[in-house]
Structure 1
Amino acid sequence: MFKLLALDALSAMAYSGVGLVLMALGFILVDIVTPGNLRHQIWTDGNRNASILLGSNLLGVGAIVAMAIYTSTGGLLVGLASSFVYGIVGLVIMGVGFVLLDLLTPGKLGQILVNDAPHPAVWVSASMHIAVALIVIAGLS
């Protein structure tokens, strides 16, 4: 019983590691699409726009990884690999969605995100991140 518990705990730690790596990549993705330093924007300047976008990205990635873990079959390595691959797919599609949304709307979303004043376009972009995550999740089931 304790051996099984230890193996399950190690599996949970491995899946958590994959999730943390993917969320770090999500942070980097948002940092790339926003002008300036994202850490400074959020933690020093208290920029709500950037916080909303990053938060939606992290929630989306977390949901994708959670569903990939839930639906994984086979051994631990296969589950870890599929979780990572689906997480990368979600991040790529989120990036493409951001670029398409930027092309289809007036102004530059990146510039809007670093503006101190709250802007409704941030909620649209954040919703797109969550919608992409839901689409990827639906593809997993």
Structure 2
Amino acid sequence: MNEILFNSLAALAYGGVGIAILVAGYLITDLLTPGKLHQLIWENRNRNAVLLVSANTLGSAIIVTSAILSSDSEMGLGAGLLSAAVYGVIGLGVMALSFLLIDLIIPAKIAQIISNDEPHPATWVSATAHVSIALVVAAALT
């Protein structure tokens, strides 16, 4: 019974870390794009913004999940939570950097494209980069 209680509390704690990383990813994406994401997504139904935020959320979840799975059960819950948080923040930073680098090398500004109501293929490039970077960071954890 103690094991079930401990595992339940651990799941809640890891869930809290995951939510914090996902919220941070949303806020970073909001800072990198013109306009407010909540308006672009929920009011304007902007597909470009939805795609980018979805990719960022998926990427963040991949990194946090990999950090949890790679944490050694002998290291303890506190160290595992810290590991998930640290790797999650690293992943968010690398994804934000990839967004900025893509914005530098393409002929149009991806930040402007994402806030445009017209669906644009360049959004797929940025979204794919988010998930790809997350997979690379996740692989580094194993």
The interval holding the TM-score normalised by the smaller chain is over 0.9
**TM-score, structure 2 as length reference:** 0.97
Task: Report what 1:82 is aligned to.
Answer: 83
Q: Distance in 1 between the 2:39 and 2:101 partners?
A: 26
Task: Report what 2:133 is aligned to.
Answer: 132
Q: Distance in 2 between the 1:27 and 1:99 partners?
A: 16
Task: Report what 2:92 is aligned to.
Answer: 91
Superposition RMSD in Å? 0.5
Residue aligned with 2:34, SS = coil
Query: Residue type of the partner of 2:118?
Result: A
Deviation of 1:105 after TM superposition, in Å, equals: 0.4
- CA deviations 1:12-65 (Å, max 9, x no partner) are 000000000000000001101110110010001100000000000000000100
Deviation of 1:3 after TM superposition, in Å, equals: 1.3
Q: Distance in 1 between the 2:28 and 2:121 partners?
A: 21
Residue aligned with 1:86, SS = helix
- CA deviations 1:83-136 (Å, max 9, x no partner) are 000000000000111111110001111110011111000000000000100110
Q: Distance in 2 between the 1:71 and 1:95 partners?
A: 24
Query: Residue type of the partner of 1:76?
Result: L
Task: Report what 1:8 is aligned to.
Answer: 7
Task: Report what 1:62 is aligned to.
Answer: 61
How many pairs were matched up? 140
Residue aligned with 1:10, SS = helix
Query: Residue type of the partner of 1:63?
Result: I
Q: Distance in 2 between the 1:91 and 1:13 partners?
A: 22
- Unpaired runs of 5+ residues, structure 1, are none
Residue aligned with 1:64, SS = helix
Query: Residue type of the partner of 1:133?
Result: A
Query: Residue type of the partner of 1:67?
Result: S
Task: Report what 1:27 is aligned to.
Answer: 26
**TM-score, structure 1 as length reference:** 0.98
Task: Report what 2:122 is aligned to.
Answer: 121
Task: Report what 1:104 is aligned to.
Answer: 105
Deviation of 1:11 after TM superposition, in Å, equals: 0.1
Identity percentage of aligned residues: 45
Q: Distance in 2 between the 1:83 and 1:29 partners?
A: 18
